Structure 1
Amino acid sequence: MGRSIARELLRSKHHVLLIERKLEHVDPEAVADAEWILADACELVTLEDAEMQTYDVVIAATGDDKANLVLSLLAKTEFGVNRVVARVNDPRNEWLFDSAWGVDVAVSTPRMLASLVEEAVSVGDLVRLMTLRQGQANLVEITLPADTPLAGKAVRKVDLPRDAALVTILRGGRVIVPEKDDPIEGGDELLFVTTVDVEDQLRAALGLTAR
């Protein structure tokens, strides 16, 4: 996981440091342009030697939720790292991954995979794809049924709740940035950023049954 993330960041011209505590997992040839440190990222002295305070982002991406939480807390409280992203391996631990532990963004791999499966098979209901702003908002997807009562209606005539923003319409192979006069069609996949509090209002505005 860490090496894959590092390769993607290096392609975008970022400077990357990998901290790995197991010698057998250190593979500089696999990520040749990254710096490597053989040490335990949960040890304060390791982060001091790495000058963690000079980094813009820390990604805690191990397979151990406890280690990810400890690294997140140290990065935020001891070194003032601006942004801390942490991997959640067990969805039962999601409640821990918040600002109290120094986490700015929690990425739950199992929940994301489950959401993608649900998004692929769900029509006529709201699917949460990603949590944003430490749980204050969600990226959600709604696939409209073919017989939606909104068919032909302009975006501006859909009475959306205040805290819900339509950001993209996926239609066939097209990605549409919605304009106010664009029509809605049956089968459209609508992506919204919304707060949890107004999700039922959003369903109602789209002619769906509230949970």
Structure 2
Amino acid sequence: MRVIVAGAGRVGESIARYLVRAGHEVTAIDQRPELVQRISETVDLRAIVGSASHPAVLREAGAANADLLVAVTRSDEVNIVACQVANALFKTATRIARIRQQAYLDRRWEDLFARQHLAVDVVISPEIEVARSVARTLLVPGSLAVIPFARDQARLVSVRCDPDCPILDTPLRQLSFLFPDLHVVVVAIERNDRLFVPHSEDRLLSGDRAWFVVETKQQARALTAFGHEPYQGRRVVIGGAGSIGRFLVQELRNIAPQVRLTVLENDPERAGSLAEDEPDVIVLKGDARDPDLLREAGVETVDTFVTVTNQDEVNIMSALMAKRLGANRTLALVNTDSYAPLISDIGIDVMIDPRGTTVSSILQHVRRGRILAGFSIKDGAAEAIEADLPENSPLVGKPLEKGRLPHGVIIGAVLREGQYIVPRPDTVLRARDRLIAIARGDQIKSLEQAVAVRFDYL
């Protein structure tokens, strides 16, 4: 497939790198020559300097023959116009735009991006996607990430294995004997900054980050097996009332109305606006790094402190201060790549990566056909997918142990006519089974072939 990625920043580069690795012909566009040079030197693609909203630039990029345009520049207006021009002049099949200004996303204007108006097929809002991801994570004790699949019948959950984790040094094949009624499969392990898909004889070690697929209704039991006990209280303090903070408040009010919320915001206008819009939320004006303000918010007895301002340093320092004062769990939004390896070492429980969340959200809409969903793990080191198994798949009618799954691929769950099945070596797959599977980054194409799925677009 031919794809144009408009915008060569962190998100655009990640998407382009992913698509190139999947074997697609990619052209990147950006107005900043230094970014164009960098992406052309690090990714095997064609790169053009220019504005993606200009017809001549899109024509040079091959818009007339492109199957997909992904517009993720810094400007919402450029992204919108690029989609409009690609549709009107070049009939580009599918157009995805990242939109950050919430004024465009007001429900009163929900028809704005319809094909007959601005011709944007899919709108991605990073702030909304990050808020939803954070809400899922902070409502699951001990989790580092929570990704729903199959209409939330199954979840991919990531946890850190602490020294008191009950299943440390246990071969993974023994988990089914230790917990015979627990529907959980460990599908990936991060160790010493390296991610791998485990074998049945592999063991979890203290400090590992484990990724497992679990039936959603058994999530609490699975967390207990990994040493993360549920806590009773439901108090959350949020640092920042910007776009992400406001959306996080709205999301939590919708999905967890029992949670008591306190928001810290240094800007008087933002603080006043949120207090007026959300009368059930306590809003305190001040710097989230101020220990006196944190004490006033009761952070020493809070379940979770999550900080989502637009300044990494504020987020990191406020999370550290909250942890020092006694917060049970801290989450911090961090945009800077160089900070990422330090987060767990300095005592912050969860790093929120807005780029990873946005990239995964966009990739959800890149594939179609029998692949229904996808999630990028550790910047493309692995991918989790949800796919329906067609009749002509080479896996149908064979036990998994004889199906010759590619090395670096593992099936975490099988859903069949409403039944949740934990895959075992003797499990025989059937046509129309729905699979939750994980593949190492260099085996994603092999996984597609194994489930007889071709890359396709909307």
Identity %: 23
User: Which of 96, 102, 107 is the equivalent residue of 2:347?
Assistant: 102
User: Deviation string for 1:33-91 (max 9, x for gaps)?
Assistant: 11110010012222122221110001111122121111111122x1232211222345x
Question: Match of 1:86, as an amino acid?
Answer: A
| 1:80 pairs with 2:330 | no
| Alpha-carbon distance in structure 1 between the residues aligned to 2:386 and 2:376 | 10
| Alpha-carbon distance in structure 2 between the residues aligned to 1:82 and 1:139 | 31
Does 92-101 or 13-22 show the bigger shift?
A: 92-101
Structure 2 gaps, min length 5 = 1-243, 451-458
Normalised TM-score (structure 2): 0.35
Question: Match of 2:396, as an amino acid?
Answer: A
Structure 1 residue 110 displacement after superposition:
2.3
Alignment length, in residue pairs?
195
| Alpha-carbon distance in structure 2 between the residues aligned to 1:66 and 1:85 | 13
Question: Match of 1:98, as an amino acid?
Answer: I
Question: Do the aligned residues in 2 keep the contact of 1:139 with 1:191 (CA within 8 Å)?
Answer: no
| Alpha-carbon distance in structure 1 between the residues aligned to 2:419 and 2:350 | 27
Question: Match of 2:303, as an amino acid?
Answer: D
User: Which of 353, 377, 384 is the equivalent residue of 1:140?
Assistant: 384
Question: Do the aligned residues in 1 keep the contact of 2:389 with 2:430 (CA within 8 Å)?
Answer: no
Q: Give the secondary-structure state (helix, strand or coil) at the position aligned to 1:151.
A: coil
Structure 1 gaps, min length 5 = none
Q: Please give the residue correspondences for 1:47-126 in structure 2 after superposition, counting only pairs within 5 Å.
A: 47-76=294-323, 78-90=324-336, 92-93=337-338, 95-96=340-341, 98-122=343-367
| Alpha-carbon distance in structure 1 between the residues aligned to 2:311 and 2:411 | 35
User: Which of 40, 46, 56 is the equivalent residue of 2:293?
Assistant: 46
Let me know the Cα RMSD of the aligned residues. Answer: 4.1
| Alpha-carbon distance in structure 1 between the residues aligned to 2:346 and 2:300 | 17
Does 120-129 or 37-46 show the bigger shift?
A: 120-129
Question: Do the aligned residues in 2 keep the contact of 1:150 with 1:206 (CA within 8 Å)?
Answer: no
Distance 1:83 1:10, change over 3 A: same
| 1:166 pairs with 2:412 | yes
Task: Indicate the residue corresponding to 2:251 in structure 1.
Answer: 8
Q: Give the secondary-structure state (helix, strand or coil) at the position aligned to 1:120.
A: helix
| Alpha-carbon distance in structure 2 between the residues aligned to 1:70 and 1:59 | 12
| Alpha-carbon distance in structure 2 between the residues aligned to 1:50 and 1:104 | 20
Task: Indicate the residue corresponding to 2:436 in structure 1.
Answer: 191
Question: Do the aligned residues in 1 keep the contact of 2:414 with 2:420 (CA within 8 Å)?
Answer: yes
Question: Do the aligned residues in 2 keep the contact of 1:128 with 1:141 (CA within 8 Å)?
Answer: yes
Distance 1:114 1:154, change over 3 A: same
Distance 1:140 1:6, change over 3 A: same
Question: Match of 1:84, as an amino acid?
Answer: T
| 1:178 pairs with 2:421 | yes
